[in-house]
């Protein structure tokens, strides 16, 4: 009874708050159609509803009758094909129908309810819903029974937001000591995204750059609401009903993640060049070259390297929080450093910077930029931040700052601390620009900041762009990858970081990384091993830390940790064809490479709070071990049949299973029927010709895999210059048939053969094998050709005689 009284009290408070606000009012007049847009005048303002597709519309409310101009940082696409729809003007409502949706606009009070074409309710509003209070604008909608919500960006706290409240505003957290401030997983907001998907089959993207608050049934369990601190009430309603379809359309609005160069799927290694904060005098270009050489000598696969903050002099005005573009004196020959690293077959070397100019000993870029008006004003005076909203200022920053290091050999940037624009910076007490305009730009500044070097380096390098950034907002996926931030090397942060990757993935940001082993403090070697296992099955594999003098370098944590690192790093490089195909899926339809289980199982309540398991691409289930000392863990396998990746042991889905996970083993499962393409082992991308692709096959029923191939480097894929190889597996009672079609598409892949590695789960061993109806003999102990079957491992291996210039069919009896 007491709980019900409190719930009623909260309901009254919330209702009173809305009642005190000004609603959009009642329909008055002015119903007009213009292509996809329908306009209405209300007693307190104006409303627009614009169809983007039959499944999606944009809804806008203005209390002064004026609507803001379209912007290009959050939203990438405003041009939509004509949509066929009908509008019926009824006595008390309008009925609007597309081929997928039925929208009822109530006239008095003005509110909107949405149904699918069969009449099933998707989303309804309360009688008092669209409102403005002071400068804040928002809407209240009914919370349906068994309705659950996913998204909201890089959240580390929960997966399912039902009955939760959250504020979205870019930042790492406030307050010291770190234990309750910057490292508060409830507060961390490195990449918030004002977008969610509902298990009822729809999603909502609030197109507003001000700080937003989302009450998803926390104050009143019968309703949810979202509001922005200022600006326009402007949101997109997206019908799926399946989550992948919603995500596809959301990223059609905010932009798809581009393809990285294939080598960027390899290891990214960062370094403080021998000296982090307080040890800057220990830095040197010699340290960096020796680091690059050591990776090669130890046979640790790596392709990208970047130098964090201590490569540059810290200026007198901005200190560690600003960028002078002047090399520290301990770097005697920066160009020679770049040249030496590239001579070791590293593909890209980059540099860390921050978005504020500073003066150093020889360079006074801050003074110059201020004089030209290229810094963003602070309190009416020239500021320190590069004005990335001004094209001329951005170009000046590029030509006079970044090009100083790019002409020596830098090929990308790590754009750090974008959240400091209009907020407290990490390394100082400065807050940057203040005021209403700064509040509006605060969340989109990280996008403008990452966009500039991504596009410029793409032109300069002559191949696909790459930029690493810590902060983002809706649309950041275009520029193109986020890392999770500065989380300490402690067990308590490991599982939340995994959850952050899953949440940001279902929020449209698919290219994501984290510091393997954590960023700050010396890691427990066991934690380092477990975190590395997870890191190698992340969209971007990144190792970096500020634990002087170890810096999370793989050899700093003992021989066992080093062997573990190499094992999974080598496996990742072998999986390039599989991961690269997954990255293209992400570009095509917005589906992240690292997928929360709810993405494909939104009707299975068992997966709603699973934040430590995920699908990596279509076929591989990853279950990191996040408990110290654990050598087992429980996993949940969704509907279907599954195999243990290592042993091919069979499991039935929609059940929990307890599995063994020794220290050097991360539990991996594959969907029954999985076909996983792999390339030869190598320690950097392109070390060997990929003239043999291994197909790791787990036969079960009918299955397929579409192998994606292109030139691995250029942007020609955007205009369809790629090839698809359809691979199918069909298991019947007496025969297994595997077909590899000749590649189709504009691109011609290099010539390669195939090797089948079939996990034979049948009771009887294989007896006969044919390739294109020609019988292949079973190999003897000394034979170099023929098929081989290992009774102990139950693995059948055979190399094709034909290559990918023709269709190939294998039949195994």
735 contacts: CB under 8 Å, gap ≥ 6? 811, 812, 813
Which helix (H) or strand (E) segment holds residue 394: the answer is helix 391-397
pLDDT of residue 709: 98
Compute the distance between CA of residue 511 and CA of residue 586 in angstroms, rounded to an integer.
9
> Which residues lie across from 692 on neighbouring strands?
753
Strand segments (E) across 462-534: 468-469, 481-483, 512-513
Peptide bond into 271 cis (omega under 30): no
Cβ atoms of 706 and 603 closer than 8 Å: no
C-alpha 485, offset from chain centre: 13
Compute the half-sphere exposure of residue 1: CA atoms within 13 Å on the CB side of its CA.
0
**Which tens digit of pLDDT belongs to each residue from 66-93?**
999 999 999 999 999 999 999 999 999 9
C-alpha 480, offset from chain centre: 9
Supply φ then ψ for residue 2, to 5 degrees.
-60, -40
Compute the distance between CA of residue 182 and CA of residue 622 in angstroms, rounded to an integer.
29
pLDDT of residue 2: 32
Per-position DSSP letters for 3-28, written without gaps between them: HHHHHHHHHHHHHHHHHHSEE---EE
Compute the distance between CA of residue 217 and CA of residue 553 in angstroms, rounded to an integer.
45
Alpha-carbon separation of residue 787 from 487, 752, 754, 767, 812 (angstroms): 49, 18, 13, 10, 11
Residue with token string 């050591």 = 294
Compute the distance between CA of residue 501 and CA of residue 415 in angstroms, rounded to an integer.
19
pLDDT of residue 450: 98
**Which tens digit of pLDDT belongs to each residue from 172-189?**
876 666 666 567 899 889
Handedness of CA 341, 343, 348, 353 (dihedral sign): positive
Cβ atoms of 203 and 240 closer than 8 Å: yes
Strand segments (E) across 480-583: 481-483, 512-513, 542-543
- Residue 637 confidence (pLDDT) above 60: yes
Q: Which of 341, 347, 344, 369 is nearest to 356 (CA)?
A: 369
**Which tens digit of pLDDT belongs to each residue from 282-319?**
999 999 999 999 999 999 999 999 999 999 999 888 88
pLDDT of residue 764: 87
Neighbour-count burial of 420, counting CB atoms closer than 10 A to its CB (0-12 exposed, 13-18 middle, 19+ buried) = buried
Compute the distance between CA of residue 23 and CA of residue 110 in angstroms, rounded to an integer.
9
**Alpha-carbon Rg for the chain in angstroms:** 28
> Which residues lie across from 770 on neighbouring strands?
775, 811
pLDDT of residue 180: 63
Compute the distance between CA of residue 169 and CA of residue 443 in angstroms, rounded to an integer.
6
**Which tens digit of pLDDT belongs to each residue from 7-39?**
333 333 333 344 468 999 999 987 899 999 999
Alpha helices, DSSP H only, in 266-343?
Answer: 285-297, 334-343
Cβ atoms of 250 and 205 closer than 8 Å: yes
Compute the distance between CA of residue 758 and CA of residue 730 in angstroms, rounded to an integer.
12
Instruction: Quickly state the pLDDT bin for 762 (edges 50, 70, 90).
Output: confident
pLDDT of residue 175: 61
Q: Which of 58, 22, 60, 24 is nearest to 42 (CA)?
A: 24
Task: Say which range, 274-278, 331-335, 596-600, has the weakest mean pLDDT.
Answer: 274-278
**Which tens digit of pLDDT belongs to each residue from 657-715?**
999 999 999 999 999 999 999 999 999 999 999 999 999 999 999 999 999 999 999 99
471 contacts: CB under 8 Å, gap ≥ 6? 170, 190, 191, 417, 418, 419, 446, 482
Q: Which of 356, 78, 122 is nearest to 241 (CA)?
A: 122
Span 512-530, average pLDDT: 96
pLDDT of residue 29: 84
Handedness of CA 5, 6, 7, 13 (dihedral sign): positive
**Which tens digit of pLDDT belongs to each residue from 535-557?**
999 999 999 999 999 999 999 99
- Residue 742 confidence (pLDDT) above 50: yes
pLDDT of residue 12: 33
Query: For residue 519, how many other CB atoms are within 10 A of its CB?
Result: 22
Per-position DSSP letters for 102-144, written without gaps between them: EEEEETTTTEEEEEETT--EEE-B-SS-SEEETTEEEEEEEPP
Dihedral, CA of residue 240, residue 241, residue 242 and residue 248, to nearest 10: 0
- What three-state secondary structure class fits 810? strand
- What three-state secondary structure class fits 42? strand
The fraction of the chain above a pLDDT of 90, given in percent, is: 90
Mean pLDDT of the chain: 94
Written in H, E and C, the secondary structure of 440-455 is HHHCCHHHHHHHHHHH
Reduced to 3 DSSP states, what percent helix, strand and coil does the chain have, rounded to the nearest 5? 25, 30, 45
- Residue 6 confidence (pLDDT) above 50: no
Pairing between β-strand 412-415 and β-strand 468-469 as defined by DSSP bridges: parallel
pLDDT of residue 275: 95
pTM for the full predicted model: 0.96
- What three-state secondary structure class fits 415? strand
Pairing between β-strand 111-116 and β-strand 101-106 as defined by DSSP bridges: antiparallel
**787 dihedral zone (left: phi>0; alpha: psi -120 to 50; beta):** beta
Compute the distance between CA of residue 726 and CA of residue 221 in angstroms, rounded to an integer.
48
**33 dihedral zone (left: phi>0; alpha: psi -120 to 50; beta):** beta
Cβ atoms of 327 and 313 closer than 8 Å: yes
Instruction: Quickly state the pLDDT bin for 796 (edges 50, 70, 90).
Output: very high
- What three-state secondary structure class fits 388? coil
Compute the distance between CA of residue 478 and CA of residue 461 in angstroms, rounded to an integer.
18
Instruction: Quickly state the pLDDT bin for 127 (edges 50, 70, 90).
Output: confident
C-alpha 445, offset from chain centre: 18
**Which tens digit of pLDDT belongs to each residue from 395-439?**
999 999 999 999 999 999 999 999 999 987 665 567 889 999 999
Cβ atoms of 731 and 672 closer than 8 Å: no
C-alpha 395, offset from chain centre: 28
Which helix (H) or strand (E) segment holds residue 776: the answer is strand 774-776
Neighbour-count burial of 35, counting CB atoms closer than 10 A to its CB (0-12 exposed, 13-18 middle, 19+ buried) = exposed
Instruction: Quickly state the pLDDT bin for 475 (edges 50, 70, 90).
Output: very high
Compute the distance between CA of residue 140 and CA of residue 613 in angstroms, rounded to an integer.
33
- Residue 158 confidence (pLDDT) above 80: yes
Q: Which one has a higher pLDDT value, 214 or 427? A: 214
Per-position DSSP letters for 190-254, written without gaps between them: SSEEEEEEETTTEEEEE---S-EEEESSSS-TTEEEEEESSS-EEEEEEE-SSHHHHHHHHHHHH
Query: For residue 789, how many other CB atoms are within 10 A of its CB?
Result: 19
pLDDT of residue 176: 60
pLDDT of residue 782: 66
Compute the distance between CA of residue 311 and CA of residue 320 in angstroms, rounded to an integer.
11
Q: Which of 418, 500, 496, 411 is nearest to 460 (CA)?
A: 411
223: tokens are: 């309703």
């Amino acid at each position: 009874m007491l709980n019900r009284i409190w719930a009623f009290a909260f309901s009254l408070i919330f209702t009173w708050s809305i009642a005190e606000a000004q609603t959009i009012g009642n329909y008055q007049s002015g119903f007009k159609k213009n292509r996809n847009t329908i306009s209405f005048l209300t007693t307190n303002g104006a409303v627009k509803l614009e169809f983007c597709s039959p499944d999606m519309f944009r809804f806008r409310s203005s209390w002064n009758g004026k609507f803001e101009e379209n912007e290009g940082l959050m939203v990438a696409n405003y041009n939509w094909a004509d949509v066929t729809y009908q509008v019926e003007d009824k006595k008390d409502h309008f009925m609007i129908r597309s081929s997928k949706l039925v929208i009822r606009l109530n006239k008095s009070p003005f509110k909107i309810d949405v149904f699918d074409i069969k009449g099933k309710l998707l989303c309804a509003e309360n009688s008092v819903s669209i409102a403005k209070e002071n400068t804040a604008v928002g809407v209240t909608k009914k919370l349906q029974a068994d309705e659950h919500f996913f998204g909201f960006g890089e959240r580390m706290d929960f997966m399912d937001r039902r009955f939760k409240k959250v504020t979205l505003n870019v930042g790492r957290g406030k307050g010291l000591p770190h234990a309750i401030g910057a490292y508060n997983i409830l507060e961390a907001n490195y990449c918030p995204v004002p977008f969610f998907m509902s298990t009822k089959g729809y999603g909502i993207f609030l197109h507003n750059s001000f700080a937003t608050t989302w009450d998803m049934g926390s104050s009143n369990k019968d309703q949810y609401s979202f509001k922005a601190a200022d600006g326009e009430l402007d949101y997109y309603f997206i019908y799926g009903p399946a989550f992948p379809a919603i995500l596809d359309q959301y990223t059609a609005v905010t932009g798809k993640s581009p393809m990285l160069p294939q080598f960027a799927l390899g290891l990214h290694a960062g370094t403080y060049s021998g000296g982090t904060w307080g040890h800057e005098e220990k830095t040197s270009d010699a340290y960096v070259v020796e680091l690059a050489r050591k990776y090669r000598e130890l046979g640790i696969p790596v392709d990208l390297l970047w130098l964090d903050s201590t490569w540059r002099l810290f200026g007198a005005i901005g200190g560690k929080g600003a960028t002078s573009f002047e090399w520290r004196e301990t770097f005697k020959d920066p160009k020679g450093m770049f040249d030496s690293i590239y001579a070791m077959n590293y593909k890209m070397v980059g540099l860390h910077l921050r978005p504020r100019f500073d003066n150093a000993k020889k360079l006074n870029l801050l003074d110059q930029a201020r004089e030209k008006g290229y810094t963003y004003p602070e309190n009416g005076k020239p500021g320190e931040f590069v004005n990335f909203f001004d094209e001329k200022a951005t170009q000046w920053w590029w030509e006079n700052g970044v090009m100083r290091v790019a002409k020596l050999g830098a090929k990308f940037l790590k754009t750090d601390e974008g959240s400091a624009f209009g907020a407290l910076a990490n390394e100082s007490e400065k807050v940057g620009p203040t005021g209403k305009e700064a509040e509006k730009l605060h969340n989109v500044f990280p996008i403008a900041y990452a966009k500039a070097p991504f596009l410029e380096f793409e032109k300069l390098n002559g191949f696909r762009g790459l930029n690493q950034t810590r902060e983002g907002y809706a649309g950041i996926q275009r520029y193109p990858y986020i890392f999770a931030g500065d989380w300490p090397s402690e067990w308590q942060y490991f599982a939340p970081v995994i959850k952050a990757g899953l949440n940001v993935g279902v929020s449209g940001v698919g290219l994501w990384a984290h510091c393997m082993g954590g960023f700050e403090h010396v890691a427990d070697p066991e934690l380092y091993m477990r975190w590395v296992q997870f890191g190698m099955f992340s969209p971007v594999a990144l190792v970096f830390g500020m634990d002087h003098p170890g810096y999370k370098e793989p050899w700093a944590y003992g021989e066992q940790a080093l062997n573990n690192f190499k094992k999974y790093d080598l496996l990742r490089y072998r999986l390039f064809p599989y991961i690269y195909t997954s990255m293209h899926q992400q570009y095509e339809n917005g589906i992240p490479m690292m997928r929360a289980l709810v993405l494909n199982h939104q009707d299975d309540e068992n997966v709603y709070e699973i934040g430590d398991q995920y699908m990596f691409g279509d076929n591989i289930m990853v279950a990191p071990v996040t408990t110290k000392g654990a050598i087992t863990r429980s996993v949940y396998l969704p509907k279907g049949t599954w195999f243990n990746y290592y042993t091919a042991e069979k499991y039935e889905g929609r059940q929990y299973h307890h599995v063994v996970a020794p220290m050097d083993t991360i539990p991996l499962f594959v969907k029954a029927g999985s076909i996983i393409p792999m390339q030869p082992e190598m320690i950097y991308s392109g070390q060997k010709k990929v003239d043999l692709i291994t197909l790791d096959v787990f036969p079960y029923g009918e299955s397929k895999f579409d192998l994606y191939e292109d030139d691995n480097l250029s942007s020609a894929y955007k205009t369809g210059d790629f090839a698809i190889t359809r691979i199918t597996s069909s298991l019947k009672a007496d025969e297994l048939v595997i077909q590899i079609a000749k590649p189709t598409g504009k691109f011609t892949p290099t010539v390669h053969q195939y090797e089948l590695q079939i996990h034979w789960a049948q009771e009887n061993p294989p007896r006969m094998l044919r390739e294109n109806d020609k019988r292949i003999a079973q190999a003897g102990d000394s034979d170099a050709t023929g098929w081989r079957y290992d009774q102990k491992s139950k693995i059948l291996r055979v190399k094709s005689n034909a290559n990918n210039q023709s269709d190939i069919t294998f039949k195994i009896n």
